[in-house]
Amino acid sequence: MKTSWRRLRQIEKFLTGEVTQMESDLFRARLDRDEDLKSDLSVQRQAYQVIRDYARKQVQQEIAAIDQRLFNGGQSQEFQRQIHRIFS
């Protein structure tokens, strides 16, 4: 079944907490009786997790590159000592 943009937006708002308590309760009631909605919600949750994991990996790679440049790239020893003092 093809999921409509409206339905995707409703799921997104539910997952991100952009709904009122009443809207959340109504959405949960719909989940209890609509297997397609449950499936769409599960897929959307998985997509968000993949995006979060990818973003986390990107940040880790950027930090590793900065660390490599600063501490292994021939930078000044004094600069390295200052950084170590700040974070020690």
Domain ranges across the chain: 5-87
Q: Specify whether the CB–CB gap between 15 and 45 falls below 8 A.
A: yes
Q: Is 14 exposed, middle or buried (0-12, 13-18, 19+ CB in 10 A)?
A: buried
Say what the pLDDT of residue 73 is. 63
Cα→Cα distances 29→16, 24, 26, 38, 62, Å: 18, 9, 5, 11, 43
Predicted local confidence at residue 29, as pLDDT: 98
> What is this structure's pTM?
0.68
In contact, 3 and 40? CB cutoff 8 Å: yes
The Cα 59–Cα 56 span in angstroms is 5
For the segment 38-88, what is each residue's pLDDT rounded down to a tens digit? Answer: 999 999 999 999 999 999 999 999 988 887 777 776 667 777 778 788 988
